[in-house]
Amino acid sequence: MDMDFSPEDIAFREEVRAFLKDNLPARLRDGARRTPGVFVEPDIGMEWHRILFRQGWVAPHWPKDDGGTGWSPTQKFIFEKECALAGAPSLAILGLRLVGPVICEFGTPEQKARFLPGILSGDDYWCQGYSEPGSGSDLASLKTAARLDGDEYVINGSKIWTTHAHHADWIFALVRTDATVKKQAGISFLLVPMDQSGVSVTPIHSMSGDHEVNAVFFTDARTPAENRIGEEGQGWSIAKFLLENERGGSCYAPRLLQSIERLENLAQTQPSGVNGALAHDPRFRDRLARVRLEAEALEITELRILAELAKGRAPGPQTSLVKLLGSNIGQQVDVLRLELLGPDALQLPLERPLYGNEAPEPVGSEYAQTAMGRYLNNRAATIFGGSDEVQKNIIAKTVLGL
Catalytic residues: 246
Contact partners, residue 44, CB within 8 Å, separation at least 6: 28, 31, 32, 35, 89, 355
Under DSSP, is residue 270 helix (H, G, I), strand (E, B) or coil?
Answer: coil
Q: Got the DSSP string for 48-84?
A: HHHHHHHHT-S-TTS-GGGT-----HHHHHHHHHHHH
Q: Rounded CA gap, 171 and 63, in Å?
A: 22
Cα dihedral 62, 63, 67, 68 in deg (nearest 10): 60
Phi, psi angles (nearest 5°) of residue 239: -60, -40
Residue (of 35, 55, 30, 38) closest to 92 by Cα position? 38
Helix pair 318-341, 366-377: axis angle to 10 deg: 140
Q: Is 385 left (phi over 0), alpha (psi -120 to 50) or beta?
A: left
Q: Rounded CA gap, 149 and 302, in Å?
A: 46
Helix (H) or strand (E) holding 202: strand 199-204
- Count of other CB atoms within 10 angstroms of residue 259: 20
Residue (of 225, 206, 232) closest to 350 by Cα position? 206
Which of the 8 DSSP states describes residue 272?
-
Residue (of 129, 120, 93) closest to 227 by Cα position? 129
